[in-house]
Chain A
Amino acid sequence: MPFDAPSDPDAFREKVRGWLEENCPESMRTPMPEDEVVWGGRREKFKNPDSKVWLERMANEGWTAPTWPKEYGGGGLTREQAKILEQEMARIGARTPLFSFGLWMFGPALIEFGNEEQKKRFLPDIVHGRTRWCQGYSEPGAGSDLAGLQTKCEDKGDHYLINGQKVWTSYANEADWIFCLVRTDNTVKHEGISFILFDMESEGVETRPIKLISGSSPFCETFFSDVKVPKDQLVGEVNGGWKIAKRLLQHERSSISASGFGSTRGTGMLELEEYAKIHVGTDGDGKLLDGDLRGRIADHQMYAKAFNLTVQRSQQQAKAGQEVGHTASIIKYAAAKMNQDKHELMVEALGTEGLGWEGEGFDRGAKMVTRGWLRSKGNSIEGGTSEINLNVVSKRVLGLRDHQ
Chain B
Amino acid sequence: MTFILTEDQEMLRDTAVNFTRDELPVKHLRALRDAGKNGVDPEARQKLAELGFFGVLIPEEYDGVEMSMTAFGQVMEAQGRTLASTPLLQTACIGASAILMGGTEAQKKEWLPKIAAGEVTTALALDETSHHNPAGVATEAERDGQGYTLNGAKKYVQDGHHADMFIVVARTFGEAGDSHGLTLFLVPRDAKGLTVQALNTVDSHGAAHLTLDGVHVDDSHVLGAADKGMDILEPVLDRGRIALAAEMLGSSLAAFEMTHEYMQTRKQFGQLIGSFQALQHRAAKMFTELELTTSCIAAALSAVDSQRNDIAELASLAKARASETVHLVSNETVQLHGGIGMTDDHDSGFYMKRARVQEALLGSASFHRDRYAKLNGY
Contact = CB atoms under 8 A, between A and B. Distances in A.
Contact of A301 (B281, B295, B376): B376
A288 interface: yes
Interface residues of B, number: 39
Contacts of A302: 317, 320-321, 369, 372
B275 A400 contact: yes
A278 to B, nearest CB: 11
Interface in B281-305: 281, 283-285, 287-288, 291-296, 298-299
Contacts of A310: 291-292, 294-295
Interface in B256-289: 260, 263-264, 271-272, 274-275, 277, 280-281, 283-285, 287-288
A312 B1 CA distance: 9
Contacts of B284: 333, 389-391, 393-394, 397-398
A29 interface: no
Given A295-B366, A387-B281, A288 B373 contact: yes
B145 to A, nearest CB: 40
Contacts of A246: none
A321 to B, nearest CB: 10
Contacts of A306: 292-293, 295-296, 317, 321
A273 B377 contact: yes
A403 interface: yes
B370 interface: yes
B4 A394 contact: no
A305 interface: yes
A118 B170 CA distance: 73
Contacts of A317: 3-4
Contacts of B277: 391, 394
Nearest to A395: B280
Contacts of A316: 2-4
Contact of A288 (B288, B320, B366, B378): B378
Interface residues of A, number: 46
A400 B283 contact: yes
Interface in A86-137: none
B365 to A, nearest CB: 8
Nearest to B288: A330
B100 to A, nearest CB: 27
Interface in A276-298: 276-277, 282, 286-288, 294-295, 297-298
Given A273-B378, A297-B373, A307-B292, A400 B264 contact: yes
Contact of B299 (A282, A294, A309): A309
A396 to B, nearest CB: 10
Contacts of A322: 4
A313 interface: yes
Interface in B15-68: none
A299 B281 contact: no
A327 interface: yes
A401 interface: yes
A391 B369 contact: no
Interface in A291-347: 294-295, 297-299, 301-303, 305-307, 309-310, 312-313, 316-317, 320, 322, 326-327, 330, 333-334
B298 A401 contact: no
Nearest to A272: B378
Given A288-B373, A303-B292, 8 more contacts: A298-B369, A309-B298, A313-B3, A320-B4, A327-B291, A390-B280, A400-B280, A401-B275
18 contacts: A273-B377, A287-B374, A295-B366, A298-B369, A301-B376, A302-B317, A302-B320, A302-B369, A306-B295, A306-B321, A312-B1, A312-B3, A316-B2, A316-B3, A389-B284, A390-B280, A400-B263, A401-B274
In the A-B complex, list the 6 residue pairs whose CB atoms are closest, starting with the nearest. A394-B280, A393-B284, A309-B295, A306-B292, A313-B3, A310-B295
Interface of A: 273, 276-277, 282, 286-288, 294-295, 297-299, 301-303, 305-307, 309-310, 312-313, 316-317, 320, 322, 326-327, 330, 333-334, 387, 389-391, 393-395, 397-404
Interface of B: 1-4, 260, 263-264, 271-272, 274-275, 277, 280-281, 283-285, 287-288, 291-296, 298-299, 317, 320-321, 366, 369-370, 372-374, 376-378
